[in-house]
Amino acid sequence: MATRKVFLDSKKSRSIILDEEAATVVEDAVAALQKFADEEAERADKAEATKDEAEEKLEEAKKETSDAAIGLRVKATLDTIALASKVVKSFDAKGLVSPLEIKRAAMAQLKPTRDWASKSEAYVTAAFDAAADEADEMDDDDEDKSKVNDSLRQFAKDAAAHGLKPTTDGTDAYNTFLRGGK
């Protein structure tokens, strides 16, 4: 009867000598066990990777829901609503919480002929920022006009306090002045 040496592990560190039939059975069993062990190791690796990914997502969710992160989102939302109220005087946020959606709603009220829902985030943000800058410039102009009007009113009060009377015709007053009159 022929005998053969059969290795019992993949490192070929353990072996036995068996006859041909038993060697075939043992080799098949060892191969099946090795295949099963490899499959289970692969399954364990996948489970570990899934666990690690879930833990990372959990940490990310914890960061996103921390008080500081929520505070920043609320501040961004409120700042956007305030700016939208400058851009569109009668702006109503209608329960919107996303700064992008607030910008879309404001631009839809400002320029209703455009389809703002299909525009990209960058486009909406750029258009909103431009409208906000324009609104700020108009506010600055209104403030400057108000200061000029206040100055003119005060000048008129000061002139009246010193006994000067406003004229209805500047040309007559100018000609009188040129002739040396008061």
Least confident of 7-16, 40-49, 84-93, 108-117: 7-16
Residue from 144, 141, 179, 126 nearest 116 by CA: 126
Range list of β-strands (E), the chain: 3-7, 15-19
Inform me whether the pLDDT recorded for 122 exceeds 80: yes
Calculate mean pLDDT across residues 85-104.
Answer: 87
Calculate mean pLDDT across residues 157-174.
Answer: 74
Cα–Cα dist 34/11, whole Å: 12
Cα four-point dihedral sign 50, 54, 55, 56: positive
Which residue type is seen at 27? E
Residue from 130, 131, 93 nearest 110 by CA: 131
Residue pLDDT, tens place only, 8-57: 777 777 878 878 888 888 888 888 888 999 999 999 999 999 999 999 99
Q: Is-above-0.75 flag for pTM?
A: no
Least confident of 78-82, 161-165, 168-172: 168-172
The domains of the chain are located at 3-63, 67-161
Angle, CA 11 vertex, CA 10 and CA 15 arms, to 5°: 85
